Amino acid sequence: MTLFISTYSTTKTSSFLGRVIRGKTIRELPEVQFSNRIKEFLIDKLNSNSSDNTNTSSNSNSNNNFLLKKYKYIPSKYNYMISLNSIFITFILNKNARIAALVGKGYYTIGPCGEENLSIIGSLLLNNDSNNDKNSDNNENSTNITLGDSSALHYRHTSISLTRQLLRKLKQNSIDYDIDIGNDNDNCNDESGSKNNEIVQDLLLGRARGYTVSKYDPITGGVHCSIGAPGSNYESNEYIVSSTLASQCPSAIGRALGYSLNLPNKQHQNQNQRSKKSSKRSENQSPISFVTLGDGSIHNSHFLSSVTLAKHARYQNINCPIVFGISDNGLSISYKTNDFLSQIGMFEENMNDKLLPVYHVEDSNDMVEIYSKTKEAFNYSRIKKAPCIIIYKNLIRRFGHASTDRQYEYLTTNEIDNMEYNNNDESNNSSNGINENSNSNINNCNVIQSMIQAVDVLNYTTYQEIYSQWIMIEKETDIAFSTAMSEPKVSLNDMMGMDIGGDTKSSNNSRISAPLTPIPLIPRPASTDTMTKTNKADVVVEVLSVIVKKKKTIKKEVMRKHMTRVLEEIMKDDEYVVYIGEDFPPDETTLLGCALGFSQLGIIPIVEIPYIKYLDCGIDMFYEIAIQYWLTNGEDCEGEGEDDDTSSIKVGGGGGGIRNKGSSQPILPKRRNGGMIIRLQGFDRGVFGGNFHTHNSLPHIPPGVDVVCYSNGPDYVRGMRYAHYQAKYSGRIIVFVDCTYILNLRHVHNNKNGGGGDRAWEFPYPSLYDSMIDFDQVIRYRVGHEDHSFIRDEIGSTYSSNDDNDDDAPSTSTSASASASINDNAKQTRTRKVAIVTYGNGVVTSLQARKSLLERNSQDNVISISKNEKLDIDIDIDIDIDIIDCPYLSDVPKGLENIIYDYDYILFADICKEGPGSNIFSSMITTLQQKRRLLSTSRWQFIGAPRTYNPLGSTVTFLNQNRIEDAVIQMVKDA
């Protein structure tokens, strides 16, 4: 580490060399001291009498053969030596991370803390399309596989990831790995030695960038320090884990269940065929999902619900090849678990349990035992395609949880010293790794134990080779940290997708979520293109292009019928779409977790949560879904699927698009992973179930999620097609909020004399041409030419204010009839344009309110309001009301921005509750004001549902027609 310290000494940080933290300078940090003792141990071994080794070699080999017989499986030299180097890299990275934190250059110090030896597990995880011939042990046959195992690792298990990365990179470069990675030796030519060195350097620099949060961190792009591999998750099969305890478990079980659909494998096989590769699959090497956690996380609901679902799947004979790896070091940060894990029946060793077998590794310092037992568990899961648990026992935490951990507050000095050296005494509670009576012995350290096992038991290497390797890794790690610390951190512009000048690059935030994919243009058959503007109820409404065959009557249906039909349409056209929800799985955490796991494999889940209030039960997993693109810097969405055949595409039109030059065929991108659609049912007005089934609050709209709420069947169909398109090709996450009241609604206005109503909310099913509605579009409902009818206009990003006719422009002066002087006591008339901006149920309620206002006092479909001023004058204000349906709720749609200038007064009628954190329009109003779209505060008002809870059997707490009417009149009068 001399280079690392000397680098500091040439900068202003040199003063940190004498800095004291809890009485420690850099050279006195326990990690630095322990590293020096490891080197001292190796030097002592090198200085030992070599003749002793020669004289005892035959006896030693005999002894070793006897010792190894207790293991069912023995790792090959290839696997063991790569894993050993992963241990060294992990330990030294953590040491340098602690130094970087001490001098104010590092920001993540949670280390392996005695769990480095789990690195050997990485050699058992199969990678994509790899013939693991070098991984074959005990002369077992190895077979090509198509799709590799997925892994999501606890933050102490970096070494497992490093082993897996080394194996993958060495194979990709067709390099025969030797102990001396990066060193010249007789068994390695200069070219491969140089390549070895590059692989290690890249790996070290990538991890150093994570610890120092460089913007060039290949895993998260400089926003966090996470375990994973550079490149897309689909390529590496390593999935990033956030800091929420056990939150990695639900998505891991989703990936396990996803394997049973065989869709991920089919997608990957398509990629292989395009590359002219051939792959065979062995039933004994089908992919598994491996997820690890600490013993403190077994109390977390994410883990418990995942285990329950795994057992349920097994009970129902549903394939679910998942292995839960639990590392037990006896401490949950500061809390001593006192061997609690072993006292719970579900974690007792029972390899014959029919639903969830449990395997134990008794000595987790022994790499061969870890390998052997883990391989047993993996084999069970692969062959049976079933879940199991493996517990890594008797781990001893070293150096505390992190650099900020004040372990001296809850552990004695003797306890800390004994834990540092892995001292253990079976008579003392060994699972805690705490023993105040043991003498410190460096040989008990798990890192030293792995070296001794490699040299003295397995005869895989020598202490000279190990020492040379350790020194080389220290040197390269110093260089990596020196480089990473000098690199820039992420800026606000990086986070918000802005240019240097501060302007946003586009409406598609490049960091929070993937850019929207343009809709391809599909030419419509001219002979089948018809357009109608009137419906049976004499309600004037623009109906989307409909293919009419044999003059067949177009059937009009309620919204629910449209919703069911579009889901059937999408699932029929796209085999990668899977519908899950309501009764499977039984809780929202694993329901959303399964959706995340599915999406990471390239499956597009449509997830139904039966009532929007139930989202609260799985809200952490919902936020895990939302943050994936940001946390992975977009890599989570990178898919491996084949380009879709453009001849099969059945959607297009609306809002612009792209196509091949000189061709009618559209240009379609590759599929991307990570996309999904979430349906939240049971929203707003209703009398069934009370507050828990009629929830009308939307506090959960995190960055990275598109939320929509449609008011009618055709818009829902077109919106669902667009959502599927963006989930498929952009990896977007779209949430549909479904209003209960309008699902079966037929009439906007009922007949006064009974006998039904106008059937104005029944519509024909949209055709497959011009059939998408994008997020920027809003729908304007103008007063129609017939009594209480309406005209629909779709306003998008290209709309220009007042571009239709002058009559649409806001009035800025009195009408001709008001030309008389005020002093003449003449009656004046002013015409004003009013917009009611709303969504979902609010559209129908606003249409009903407008009709009521028209019936109060109207002439030529213009509402007249008398306004008596203090002046001796009567002013009649004629108001022309339009309803603006704003389905997109995550941001201000471009269509709303563009049309808002057309109006004198704007009423924002939100069907959510009034008050902080409950509704949509409060945020939209703020954004519109920042963009100078709402110039006068006297020209707009906001109303919402009362800020209370919804009683059973009543609708009094929802936004209603009377409130909208009163708000319109009051707004105009006050202005």
Residues 6+ apart with CB under 8 A from 44: none
* pLDDT level of residue 804 (50, 70, 90 thresholds): very low
Give CA–CA dist 492/690, Å, rounded.
44
For residue 866, the SS3 value is: strand
Above 70 in pLDDT, residue 4? Answer: no
What's the pLDDT at 639? Answer: 57
CA 454 to chain centroid: 40
What's the pLDDT at 147? Answer: 81
Residues 6+ apart with CB under 8 A from 56: none
Domain ranges in the chain with CATH number 3.40.50.970: 27-48+77-128+148-179+192-262+285-424+442-495, 553-637+670-773
Mean pLDDT computed over 18-25 = 50
Tell how many helices (H) and how many strands (E) occur in the chain: 25, 24
Above 70 in pLDDT, residue 192? Answer: no
Tell whether the torsion through CA atoms of 898, 902, 903 and 909 is positive or negative: negative
Above 90 in pLDDT, residue 873? Answer: no
What's the pLDDT at 85? Answer: 95
For 966, other C-beta atoms within 10 Å of its C-beta total 12
Q: List the structure tokens of 669.
A: 């991108």
Above 80 in pLDDT, residue 947? Answer: yes
Highest mean pLDDT among 136-140, 849-853, 908-912: 908-912
What's the pLDDT at 975? Answer: 65
Give CA–CA dist 631/243, Å, rounded.
11
Mean pLDDT computed over 611-630 = 91
Above 50 in pLDDT, residue 816? Answer: no
> How far lies 457's CA from each of 64, 285, 366, 368, 462, in Å?
5, 30, 11, 10, 11
Cis peptide before 585 (omega within 30 of 0): yes
Mean pLDDT computed over 724-748 = 95
What's the pLDDT at 62? Answer: 64
- Angle value at C-alpha 8, between 5 and 12, nearest 5 degrees: 155
Above 90 in pLDDT, residue 140? Answer: no
What's the pLDDT at 687? Answer: 81
* pLDDT level of residue 532 (50, 70, 90 thresholds): very low
Tell whether the torsion through CA atoms of 627, 632, 634 and 636 is positive or negative: negative
Mean pLDDT computed over 896-914 = 93
pLDDT digit string (tens) for 269-325? 555 454 444 444 455 678 999 999 998 888 899 999 999 999 999 999 999 999 999
Give CA–CA dist 580/592, Å, rounded.
9
**What fold characterizes domain 779-796+827-974?**
Rossmann fold (3.40.50)
Give CA–CA dist 74/712, Å, rounded.
64
What's the pLDDT at 906? Answer: 94
Above 90 in pLDDT, residue 489? Answer: yes
Above 90 in pLDDT, residue 652? Answer: no
What's the pLDDT at 831? Answer: 77
Domain ranges in the chain with CATH number 3.40.50.920: 779-796+827-974
CA 791 to chain centroid: 40
What's the pLDDT at 919? Answer: 92
Give CA–CA dist 965/941, Å, rounded.
13
* pLDDT level of residue 33 (50, 70, 90 thresholds): confident
Highest mean pLDDT among 188-202, 302-316, 413-427: 302-316
What's the pLDDT at 839? Answer: 97
- Angle value at C-alpha 169, between 168 and 175, nearest 5 degrees: 105
Q: What share of the chain is helix, strand, coil (3-state, %, to 5)?
A: 40, 15, 45
Above 70 in pLDDT, residue 707? Answer: yes
Above 60 in pLDDT, residue 55? Answer: no
CA 595 to chain centroid: 10
What's the pLDDT at 417? Answer: 75
Q: List the structure tokens of 16.
A: 């940190």
Diameter of the chain measured on Cα atoms: 126
Contact 308, 347 (CB under 8 A): no
Percent of residues, the chain, with pLDDT higher than 70: 72
The helix (run of H) or strand (run of E) holding residue 792 is strand 790-795
* pLDDT level of residue 657 (50, 70, 90 thresholds): very low
For residue 605, the SS3 value is: strand
Q: How far apart are the first and last CA of the chain?
A: 73
Residue 126 is classified by DSSP as P
Give CA–CA dist 40/472, Å, rounded.
16
Contact 685, 741 (CB under 8 A): yes
Give CA–CA dist 609/622, Å, rounded.
12
Q: What is the DSSP string of 823-862?
A: GGT--EEEEEEEEEEE-THHHHHHHHHHHHHHHHSEETTE
> How far lies 483's CA from each of 7, 146, 224, in Å?
10, 37, 18
Give CA–CA dist 810/831, Å, rounded.
9
Domain range 553-637+670-773, CATH class: alpha beta
Residues 6+ apart with CB under 8 A from 525: 547, 769
The alpha-helical segments, DSSP class H, found in 103-247 are 158-172, 190-211, 233-236
Above 80 in pLDDT, residue 800? Answer: no
Residues 6+ apart with CB under 8 A from 425: 435, 437, 438
Give CA–CA dist 90/88, Å, rounded.
5
Q: What is the pTM of this model?
A: 0.85
Mean pLDDT computed over 691-708 = 90
Which of 410-424, 594-608, 698-712 is predicted with the least confidence, judged by mean pLDDT?
410-424
Percent of residues, the chain, with pLDDT higher than 90: 46
Mean pLDDT of the chain: 78
Mean pLDDT computed over 650-678 = 59
Above 50 in pLDDT, residue 772? Answer: yes
pLDDT digit string (tens) for 338-373? 777 777 777 888 888 899 999 999 999 999 999 999
Give CA–CA dist 164/183, Å, rounded.
21
Mean pLDDT computed over 627-641 = 74
Half-sphere exposure of 560 (CA within 13 A, CB side): 10
What's the pLDDT at 112? Answer: 83
What's the pLDDT at 113? Answer: 80
Give CA–CA dist 627/670, Å, rounded.
22
Above 90 in pLDDT, residue 632? Answer: no
What's the pLDDT at 760? Answer: 92
Give CA–CA dist 815/167, Å, rounded.
81
pLDDT digit string (tens) for 375-399? 999 999 999 999 999 999 988 888 8
pLDDT digit string (tens) for 110-137? 878 889 999 999 999 998 764 444 444 5
The alpha-helical segments, DSSP class H, found in 652-752 are 713-729
* pLDDT level of residue 15 (50, 70, 90 thresholds): very low
What's the pLDDT at 422? Answer: 65
The arrangement of secondary structure in 27-48+77-128+148-179+192-262+285-424+442-495, i.e. its CATH architecture, is 3-Layer(aba) Sandwich (3.40)
Q: 552 versus 679: which is more confidently predicted?
A: 679
Residue recorded with tokens 């629910």: 560
Q: 323 versus 226: which is more confidently predicted?
A: 323
Mean pLDDT computed over 969-974 = 83
- Angle value at C-alpha 9, between 8 and 11, nearest 5 degrees: 70
pLDDT digit string (tens) for 536-587? 333 333 333 333 333 455 789 999 999 999 999 999 999 999 999 866 667 8
Above 50 in pLDDT, residue 9? Answer: no
Highest mean pLDDT among 42-51, 500-509, 613-622, 875-884: 613-622
> How far lies 411's CA from each of 32, 111, 405, 406, 417, in Å?
21, 19, 11, 9, 10
* pLDDT level of residue 425 (50, 70, 90 thresholds): very low
